[in-house]
Amino acid sequence: MIPEIGHLALIVALVVALVQGIFPIVGAYKGYASWVAVSKPAARLQFLLLLTSFACLTWSFLQSDFSVLYVAENSNTKLPQIFKFSAVWGAHEGSLLLWALILSAWTAAVTLFGRSLSPLMMARVLGVLGLVATGFLAFLIFTSNPFERLLPAVAEGRDLNPLLQDIGLVMHPPMLYMGYVGFAIPFAFAIAAMLGGRLDAAWARWSRPWTQAAWVFLTLGIALGSWWAYYELGWGGWWFWDPVENASFMPWLAGTALMHSLAVTEKRGAFKAWTVLLAIFTFSLSLLGTFLVRSGVLTSVHAFASDPSRGLFILLFLAVVVGSSLALYAARASKVRSHVRFELVSRETALLLNNVILVVTTVSILLGTLYPLIIDALGAGKISVGPPYFNAVFIPLTIPLAILIGVGTVARWKRDSVANIWAKVRLAFVASLVFGLVFPAVAMAHFSWKAALGMVLAFWVFFTTLRVIRDHARGRGLGGLSLSQWGMALGHIGVAVFIVGITLTSLYSLEEDVRLAPGDHYGLGGYDFHFKGTTSIQGPNYQGARGEVLITRDGEPVTVLYPEKRNYLTGMPMTEAGIDAGLTRDLFVALGEPLGEDGAWAVRIYVKPYVRWIWLGALIMALGGVCSLADKRYRVLARREREALVGGVA
Amino acid sequence: MKARYLVPLAIFLVIVGFLAVGLKMDPKRVPSPLIGKPAPHFELSTLYDPAERITPEKLRGKVWLLNVFASWCVSCRAEHQVVSRFVQMGLAPVYGLNYKDEARDAKEWLRELGNPYEAVIVDPEGDTGIDWGVYGVPETFVIDKKGIIRDKVIGPVTEEILENRLVPLVRKLKEEQG
C-alpha cells in the first residue's frame, strides 16, 4: 500500500509540475493575474508530493519490503540501518527521485526567499522550473519507476553495491545533486528574464546567491566523491578524469565562471548577454552530465545500469530544454546591450579573462570526454581519452588563472593602470617567488622546478589575497570586512591550498606494491612499515581479513593501521584502506591479494604528502561561498525592493 | 536577430547529433584485433582425459566455436543454456576452454548444469587466454575451416546474439571452401 501511495504522489506531482510550467508562463504573457497566482501554491504542493513519494520509498527500504523491485535489487535485511536509508539513492531510479525532490526543494526555496521578485518574474521563474520538473518526472515515471512491484516478493534482497556502503557515499550524491540541480535556478532566472525582456542588474543580483549556493553544494559534492575514491577504491587516487567525474567537474567550472560574470553584471551592468549564455551553458552541462551518466554512451567506472531508451529520453529532453533556451537567447540577446565601457586595464578585463579561461577549460574537458564518442560516431575507430590529455590541457590553463586571481582582485573596476596594480602586488610577487622557491628545497625530500612553480602560484594567490584583505580592513579592522569580501578572500585562499595539495601530492607521492609475510618490514619515505599479519573478521553483511601494520619512524611508533579486505554478500570484494591522515602527509596501506600459505599478502603502501590539502582547499572554497551567500546586502536590498514594490502599488 | 547569437545553438545541435548517433553504439564493444587472423596456437589437455591433446591445427577443415568459461563465472551460468541449445542444433561443435579454474570445480559445475562441449580444454594458468586476448569471461570465438577467427562475442551469449549473429555466421562459414 505504501509504495502505491508513493507512486500516486509521483504521478500527481507530474500533473502539478505541468500546471506549474504552463499556467504561470502563459499567464505572465497574456496578463491573466489568476494564472500567474497559480505558480507559488503549485510549486509548494509539488514539493510536498515529492517529499511524500520519497518518504514512501524510504519507508519501503527501512521495512525491507522486497515486493518492491527496486528495494529487492538494492537492499538486504542484513544491511545496516544507515545504509538502508542511503540505499534509497543507491541506484538509478531512487537517485532520480532524489534529483526530482531536490529540484522541487530548490523551487520551494525560491517561493520562500524570493519575496522581492515581482509577481511576474516569480511566475516565470517558477514556470521554467515547472517545465524542467515535468521533464524529469515524466522520465522517472515512464522509464524508471522506483515503485515497480516484484510479485511474488523475494525473501531476501540482493544487497546494496558494497562500494556505496560507506558514509562518504551516503552524502556524496545528495550534495552533488544539490549542486547540479541548483544551477537550474540561475538558468530559470535567465530564461525568465529573457522572456520578460528585462536583463538588468536586479536579475543578476537575484541570481547570484542561488548560483553561489548551488556552487557550494557542487564543490562539497565533488570533494566528497574524490575523498571517497581515495580511501575506498584502495589505490590512493583522488581524481581519474573519468567521464562521470568530468560530468560533475564541467558544470563546476562553468558555474565558477558564472559566479564571476554575475558579479560583473551586478556591479557594473556589463557582460549581460554573456552571463545569460553562461547560465544556460552551466545548466546544460548539468543535464548533459545526467545524459552521459545514465545513457551508457561512454564507458565509465561508475557502472550505472544503462538503458538506451532512457538515454533517448534524456537526449530529447536535453535537446528541447537547451535547444529552446538557446533559440530564445538568439532571439533576445541581440537586444541586450551593455552600455558600459571599461578600459583594457581594469577588473572587468581580468574577470573577462577569467571567464575565457574557465570556459576554454570546460570546453577542452567536454571535447576530451566526448571525443571517443565522436570518433566512434564518425566510424573512425575506437579510442579512449585518458588522464594524459586532461592533465596536458588542464594544468597549463590553471597557471594563468592563478596569476589572474592576484591581478584581478587588486585591480579597480572600470579603469586602472599597470603601474598602480604593480605597486599593489610588488611585495606579494617577490614574497611568492622567494617562498615558492625555498619551500620545496627546505620542506620536501628533494627540489623540483615543477613543485617550485606550483608553490610560487599558491603563495602568489595567498599573498595577493592577504593584500586585498588588508586594503579592505584599512581603518576599519578585520571586522570591517563584509561577508562577501570574506567570501572572495576565502574562496581564493581555498584555491591556493588546493594548488599546494595537488602539486605536492602529484610530485612527491611514494607508492610501492610489495609482498609482505607476517613479521616483514618495509621502509618507505623514512617510515618503517611492520606487517604483523592478518586476522579474519565477520561484519554484518561481509566477511574478510584485517591486517595489522605497525608504523614507526626512527624507532618511534607513529601509528598502527588496520587495512581490511572484505567479501560482501553480493560476492564483491572490497578494500578498506588503513590511512593515517595528517596535515603534511598521509600514510596509506591497502591489502591487495593473499599470496600463498604463509599468510603473506600483496600490500600497497603509499606516503602521500599534503594530500589532505586538496579537500581542505575545496572546503575553504565552499566556506567562502557560504560567507558570500550570507552577506546581508542581499537581504537589505531584498527588503528595500520589497518596500519599493509595496510603495509603488500604494 | 544577429547571426552570431545563433552560434551557440548551432554548436549545440551538432553535439546533440553526435550524442544521438552515440546512443546507438556500444562503447564496451571493442573489436578484437584477432578477427580475421589465424587462431593462436595452443596444445592443451582436456578435462576428462589428461592424455588427450587438442590443438587448433587438429580442428582444421571444420567450423568450430571456442567458448571460454569458468565455474567461478556467474554470467557463464547464464549463457550455459543458450550454448547448450546451439549445440543441440548440430551446426558446429563447441569446445570449452576452462579458464583459470580448478578441475574439480569445473567437473562439478558441468555435472550440475550438463556438459554441451565436444571437449573441454583446460587452461588453468590462463596463458592460452592471454594469447587469445580474453579479457572477460565468458567469451566465445567462431573459427572457420581454415582456422581463422571470424567473430568473437564478449560476455554471455544471449538468445538474440545466437539467433542473429552466431547461427547465420556459422551457416555461412559452413558453405565456404575449406
Residue B2 or A180, more confident: A180
Q: What per-residue confidence (pLDDT) applies to B178?
A: 64
pLDDT above 70: residue A543: yes
The shortest CB-CB distance from A315 to any of B9, B19, B25 is to B19
Whether B25 and A297 lie within 8 Å, measured CB to CB: yes
**Chain B partners within 8 Å of A362 (Cβ):** none
> If you average pLDDT over residues A299-308, what whole number do you get?
56
* CA dist., res. B102 & res. B110, Å (int): 12
A326-370 per-position pLDDT tens digit: 999 998 887 776 677 788 888 989 999 999 999 999 999 999 988
pLDDT-based confidence at residue A290 (cuts at 50, 70, 90)? confident
- B4 assigned to some structural domain: no
Whether B18 and A327 lie within 8 Å, measured CB to CB: no
DSSP states along A112-163: HH-TTS-HHHHHHHHHHHHHHHHHHHHHHHHH--TT-B-SSPPSS-----GG
Whether A376 and B20 lie within 8 Å, measured CB to CB: no
Cβ neighbours of residue A245 under 8 Å, at least 6 residues apart?
A222, A225, A239
The packing angle between helices A387-410 and A483-508, to 10°, is 140
pLDDT above 80: residue A55: yes
pLDDT above 90: residue A374: no
How long, in residues, is chain A?
650
DSSP states along A240-298: ---HHHHHHHHHHHHHHHHHHHHHHHHHH--SHHHHHHHHHHHHHHHHHHHHHHHH-SS
Picking from A76-90, A407-421, A635-649, which range would have the lowest pLDDT averaged per residue? A635-649
Question: How many of the other CB atoms lie within 10 Å of CB of B66?
Answer: 24
Question: How many of the other CB atoms lie within 10 Å of CB of A569?
Answer: 18
* CA dist., res. A91 & res. A87, Å (int): 7
The shortest CB-CB distance from A377 to any of B21, B28, B30 is to B21
DSSP states along B31-91: PPTTTTSBPPP--EEBSS-TT-EE-GGGGTTS-EEEEEE-TT-HHHHHHHHHHHHHHHHTS
User: Which residues of A sit within 8 Å Cβ distance of B?
Assistant: 273, 277, 280-281, 284, 291, 295-299, 308, 311-312, 315, 318-319, 322-323, 326-327, 329-331, 333-334, 370, 372-374, 376-377, 382, 571
Which of A349, A371, A334, A176 minimizes the C-alpha distance to A255? A176
pTM given for the model: 0.83
Whether A315 and B9 lie within 8 Å, measured CB to CB: no
DSSP states along A405-471: HHHHHHSPSS---HHHHHHHHHHHHHHHHHHHHHHHHHHSSS--HHHHHHHHHHHHHHHHHHHHHHH
The number of distinct structural domains making up chain B is: 1
Q: What per-residue confidence (pLDDT) applies to A648?
A: 40
Identity of the highest mean pLDDT range in A57-61, A148-152, B61-65: A57-61
- B114 assigned to some structural domain: yes
Q: What per-residue confidence (pLDDT) applies to A608?
A: 93
Chain A residue nearest residue B32, CA to CA:
A382
B19-48 per-position pLDDT tens digit: 888 777 666 666 677 788 888 888 888 888
Question: What CATH number did the domain enclosing B57 receive?
Answer: 3.40.30.10
The shortest CB-CB distance from B1 to any of A295, A334, A373 is to A334
Q: Is B160 exposed, middle or buried (0-12, 13-18, 19+ CB in 10 A)?
A: exposed
User: Which residues of B sit within 8 Å Cβ distance of A?
Assistant: 1-2, 5-6, 8-9, 12-13, 15-16, 18-25, 27-28, 30-31, 74
pLDDT above 80: residue A299: no
> If you average pLDDT over residues B74-79, what whole number do you get?
82
> If you average pLDDT over residues A545-549, what whole number do you get?
93
> If you average pLDDT over residues A42-58, what whole number do you get?
96
Sequence ranges of the domains in chain A = 1-165, 510-610
Whether A327 and B9 lie within 8 Å, measured CB to CB: yes
- B13 assigned to some structural domain: no
- Strand B53-54 and strand B44-45: pairing? antiparallel
What Cα–Cα distance (Å) separates residue A169 from each residue in A161, A175, A333? 11, 10, 41
- B28 assigned to some structural domain: no
Whether A323 and B1 lie within 8 Å, measured CB to CB: no
> If you average pLDDT over residues A631-646, what whole number do you get?
64
**Chain B partners within 8 Å of A308 (Cβ):** 23-24
> How far off is chain B from A18, nearest CA to CA, in Å?
25
A114-124 per-position pLDDT tens digit: 877 888 899 99
Whether A329 and B15 lie within 8 Å, measured CB to CB: no
> How far off is chain A from B162, nearest CA to CA, in Å?
21
Q: What per-residue confidence (pLDDT) applies to A295?
A: 67
pLDDT-based confidence at residue B1 (cuts at 50, 70, 90)? low
Picking from A3-12, A384-393, B109-118, which range would have the lowest pLDDT averaged per residue? A384-393
Interior/surface letters A82-92, b for 16+ CB within 10 angstroms, e for the rest: ebbebbbbbbb
pLDDT above 70: residue A637: no
Task: Suggest the residue from B9, B100, B154 to mutate for an interface test with chain A (most A CBs closer than 10 A).
Answer: B9
Whether B23 and A297 lie within 8 Å, measured CB to CB: yes
**Chain B partners within 8 Å of A319 (Cβ):** 16
> If you average pLDDT over residues A521-538, what whole number do you get?
92
Give the range of the structural domain holding residue B134, as residue numbers without chain letter.
Answer: 34-175
Task: Suggest the residue from B1, B12, B160 to mutate for an interface test with chain A (most A CBs closer than 10 A).
Answer: B12
pLDDT-based confidence at residue A479 (cuts at 50, 70, 90)? confident
* CA dist., res. A116 & res. A489, Å (int): 28
pLDDT above 80: residue A455: yes
Task: Give the mean pLDDT of chain A.
Answer: 88
A60-112 per-position pLDDT tens digit: 999 999 999 999 988 888 888 889 998 998 888 898 999 999 999 999 999 99
pLDDT above 80: residue A188: yes
> How far off is chain B from A382, nearest CA to CA, in Å?
7
pLDDT above 60: residue A650: no
A240-253 per-position pLDDT tens digit: 888 888 899 999 99
Q: What angle do CA A570, A98, A303 make, to 5 degrees?
A: 40
* CA dist., res. A159 & res. A601, Å (int): 28
Whether A331 and B1 lie within 8 Å, measured CB to CB: yes
What Cα–Cα distance (Å) separates residue A133 from each residue in A19, A129, A182, A210? 11, 6, 13, 18
Task: Suggest the residue from B1, B2, B5, B75 to mutate for an interface test with chain A (most A CBs closer than 10 A).
Answer: B5
CB contact at 8 A, A72 and A157: yes
* CA dist., res. A69 & res. A153, Å (int): 8
pLDDT above 60: residue A647: no
* CA dist., res. B62 & res. B85, Å (int): 20
Whether B23 and A331 lie within 8 Å, measured CB to CB: no
pLDDT above 90: residue A640: no
* CA dist., res. A116 & res. A126, Å (int): 14
**Chain A partners within 8 Å of B30 (Cβ):** 382
Cβ neighbours of residue A142 under 8 Å, at least 6 residues apart?
A313
Strand partners, A165: none
pLDDT above 70: residue A383: yes
Peptide bond between residue A152 and the one before it cis (omega within 30 degrees of 0): yes
pLDDT above 50: residue A649: no
Expressed in angstroms, the distance from the first to the final Cα of chain A is 52
Q: What per-residue confidence (pLDDT) applies to A645?
A: 53
Q: What per-residue confidence (pLDDT) applies to A307?
A: 65
Peptide bond between residue B116 and the one before it cis (omega within 30 degrees of 0): no
Task: Suggest the residue from B2, B7, B16, B23 to mutate for an interface test with chain A (most A CBs closer than 10 A).
Answer: B23
Place of cell 567437473: B107
pLDDT above 60: residue A420: yes
Cell numbers standing for residue B176: 565456404
Strand partners, A599: none
> How far off is chain B from A295, nearest CA to CA, in Å?
7
**Chain B partners within 8 Å of A385 (Cβ):** none
Picking from A170-179, A376-385, A469-478, A605-614, which range would have the lowest pLDDT averaged per residue? A376-385
**Chain A partners within 8 Å of B31 (Cβ):** 382
**Chain B partners within 8 Å of A377 (Cβ):** 18, 21-22, 25
pLDDT above 80: residue B149: yes
Whether A318 and B16 lie within 8 Å, measured CB to CB: yes
Q: What per-residue confidence (pLDDT) applies to A220?
A: 96
pLDDT above 50: residue A202: yes
> If you average pLDDT over residues B73-89, what whole number do you get?
86
Helix (H, G, I), strand (E, B) or coil at A548: strand
> How far off is chain B from A315, nearest CA to CA, in Å?
7
CB contact at 8 A, A310 and A295: yes
Q: What per-residue confidence (pLDDT) applies to A361?
A: 94
Cβ neighbours of residue A52 under 8 Å, at least 6 residues apart?
A5, A6, A9
Whether B22 and A323 lie within 8 Å, measured CB to CB: no
